[in-house]
């Protein structure tokens, strides 16, 4: 009797309790989220976010509780999956973005916008896998001809076996898709939205005898909103939700702005949840272009009674909801690491580059950045620097740099640069706070220049580039002679959301650290930017094609210090202060 009762308890649904949680749930640049709940894989949630021109692309995150997320795999992780990603042009909105992730008949399907900036035209791509924890299992990308110049494809598997792709536009349109060939049907019109600009990011759901259409309106900026309509048929008349929008912080002073581009899903208790992109800082900082992390992923609970319309609360930094508590997110398989964790990387021989680090496009030569036997990360210089020049062509060369995302309001990022790498004037090994290739980045590194004796000598050089704010003047200072006996440490520390500072020190004597300069994060933000801030390293001959050099860095640290979730609320990580 007792044994039967115990078994019944184990098999019963686990009660969810209203618990407090904080946003963002996936911090840092994680825009355009799309999520699914998969009971067949041990009741696990999976999300993807936009990757644009970064590589690997299509990051897949997994969680058991919606709050703790681990990098599971990348849907685009091998150049042979889609060779054109190597040579896409230098536009911020190039590459892969606004994906939809769905699970159907034992497989995950991911459909995405592919914007080829060379021809200034969007296309769609599709990949799938049966194992979201295995990079190698993701298939080659199938190119799909979109029905017109449209973006933001959805993927909906209807009960009759048809596959429907909804797309952006006024009106939102839809077409049928052949998963095997990528062929699409003639599109039909769905809904114009509620009258705001830029109807986009559609998702279709079927519930209680209705098709529900969820879209974004107002542009992915301060007027962003999530709205809904429903219809009895997939191509019928759509009835707007009477209390639209479902979620939006437009017209408010809320700390979380730009809320929109949502997706909805259920948990194992049948509770509904929504994810959306959002930007922290409130309207004042947003209008001043202060948003160094860009668009992040936030979570909100949705109440959706049978046959009725859903409702949701406005997104805030601290919210409550029936958080699912089945399983342990700390024991998930996959690539790892967990989102928001520290980087403490000493490059042990035989180790690999951390899986959460990314490059801008695939490296032209995959071996140009690798862990060396010297407890260092070895980087081969590229001819082009981060800004590039008029002769740069991604078909023939790459940019050798590697980054990780800024995931916290306050952090401590540092890396040790080994001197003696140069063989020619203007050879540079540097640290970068990076937003977009060629357009927005702030750099401090060691550059070798000829001194008064016409001998190569190391200098600290600070240089910034921005399309939004006026870039400060370059700074050039000689590396102190007393520091030449070992690596130098470059550190970035925020003073606030709007000001970051570069510090330098001899790595062996960190107490000699001194401030080199501070800069405004407005250099790295602009209204509607798809990406967010990255930190990393690069090596370049600054345009000299007659030689290259090998450089080394060591002791890479990214320490999460604190997360600001409201004007007056900061969550401190006492381990790192």
What DSSP element (H or E) covers 6?
Answer: helix 2-11
326/195 Cα distance (integer angstroms)? 41
Cα–Cα nearest to 492, from 296, 350, 292, 306:
292
As given in the structure block, the two tokens for residue 319 are 């919210």
As given in the structure block, the two tokens for residue 215 are 């879209």
Query: Which position has the token pair 């077409």?
Result: 175
Residue 145 CB partners (closer than 8 Å, separation 6+): 123, 124, 182, 183, 184
As given in the structure block, the two tokens for residue 278 are 């959002």
Q: Are 304 and 272 spatial neighbours (Cβ–Cβ below 8 Å)?
A: yes
Cα–Cα nearest to 518, from 444, 434, 457:
444
The SS3 call for residue 521 is helix
Q: Residue 381 carries which DSSP code?
A: P
Kindly list the distances between the CA atom of residue 242 and the CA atoms of 213, 239, 273, 321, 328, in Å, as whole numbers in the listed order.
Answer: 14, 9, 20, 24, 39
220/32 Cα distance (integer angstroms)? 10
Phi, psi of 180, deg, nearest 5 = -80, -40
418/508 Cα distance (integer angstroms)? 12
If you count them, how many residues does the chain have? 577
CA 152 to the chain's CA centroid = 16
Residue 382: exposed, middle, or buried by beta-carbon count in 10 A (0-12, 13-18, 19+)? buried
512/407 Cα distance (integer angstroms)? 28
Residues noted as catalytic = 32, 200
DSSP letters spanning 235-302: TSPPEEPTT--SB--TTS--SEEEEEEEEEEE-TTS-EEEEEEEEESHHHHHHTT--TT-SEEEEEEE
């Amino acid at each position: 009797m007792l044994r039967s009762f115990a078994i019944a308890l184990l098999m019963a649904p686990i009660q969810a309790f209203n618990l407090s949680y904080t946003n963002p749930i996936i911090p840092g640049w994680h825009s355009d989220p799309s999520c699914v709940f998969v009971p067949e894989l041990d009741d696990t949630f999976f999300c993807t976010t936009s990757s644009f021109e970064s590589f690997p692309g299509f990051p897949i995150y997994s969680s058991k509780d919606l709050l703790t997320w681990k990098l599971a795999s990348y849907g685009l992780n091998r150049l042979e999956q889609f060779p054109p990603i190597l040579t896409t042009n230098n536009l911020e909105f190039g590459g892969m973005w606004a994906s939809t992730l769905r699970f159907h008949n034992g497989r995950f399907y991911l459909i995405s916008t592919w914007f080829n900036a060379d021809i200034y035209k969007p296309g769609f791509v599709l990949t799938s896998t049966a194992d979201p924890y295995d990079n190698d299992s993701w298939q080659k990308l199938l190119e799909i001809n979109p029905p017109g110049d449209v973006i933001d494809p959805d993927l909906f598997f209807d009960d009759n076996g048809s596959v429907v792709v909804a797309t952006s536009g006024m009106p939102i349109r839809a077409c049928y898709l052949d998963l095997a060939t990528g062929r699409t049907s003639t599109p039909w019109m769905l809904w114009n939205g509620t009258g705001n600009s830029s109807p986009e990011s559609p998702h279709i759901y079927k519930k209680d005898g209705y098709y529900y259409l969820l879209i974004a309106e107002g542009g992915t900026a301060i007027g962003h909103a999530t709205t809904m309509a429903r219809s009895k048929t997939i191509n019928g008349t759509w009835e707007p939700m009477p209390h639209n929008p479902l979620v939006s912080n437009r017209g408010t002073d809320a700390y979380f702005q730009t809320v929109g581009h949502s997706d909805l899903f259920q948990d194992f208790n049948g509770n509904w949840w929504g994810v959306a992109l959002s930007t922290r800082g409130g309207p004042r900082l947003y209008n001043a272009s202060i948003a160094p992390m860009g668009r992040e992923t936030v979570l909100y609970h949705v109440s959706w009674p049978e046959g009725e319309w859903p409702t949701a609360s406005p997104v805030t930094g601290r919210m409550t909801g029936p958080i699912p508590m089945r399983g342990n997110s700390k024991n998930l398989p996959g690539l790892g690491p967990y989102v928001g964790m520290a980087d403490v990387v000493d490059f042990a021989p035989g180790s690999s580059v951390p899986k959460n680090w990314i490059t801008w496009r695939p490296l032209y030569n995959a071996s140009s950045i690798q862990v060396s036997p010297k407890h260092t990360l070895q980087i081969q210089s590229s001819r082009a620097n981060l800004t590039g020049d008029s002769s740069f062509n991604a078909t023939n060369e790459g940019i050798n740099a590697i980054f990780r995302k800024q995931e916290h309001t306050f952090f401590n990022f540092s890396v040790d640069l080994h001197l003696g790498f140069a063989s020619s004037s203007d050879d540079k090994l540097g640290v970068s706070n990076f937003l977009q290739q060629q357009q927005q980045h702030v750099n401090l590194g060691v550059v070798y220049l000829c001194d008064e004796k016409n001998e190569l000598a190391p200098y600290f050089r600070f240089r910034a580039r921005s399309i939004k704010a006026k870039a400060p003047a370059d700074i050039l200072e000689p590396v102190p002679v007393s520091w030449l006996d070992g690596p130098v440490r470059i550190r970035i520390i925020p003073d606030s959301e709007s000001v970051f500072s570069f510090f330098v020190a001899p790595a062996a004597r960190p107490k000699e650290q001194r401030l080199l300069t501070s800069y405004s994060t407005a250099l790295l933000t602009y209204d509607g930017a798809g990406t967010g801030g990255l930190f990393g390293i690069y090596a370049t001959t600054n345009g000299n094609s007659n030689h290259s050099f090998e450089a080394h860095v060591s002791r890479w640290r990214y320490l999460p210090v604190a997360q600001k979730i409201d004007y007056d609320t900061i969550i401190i990580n006492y381990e790192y202060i």
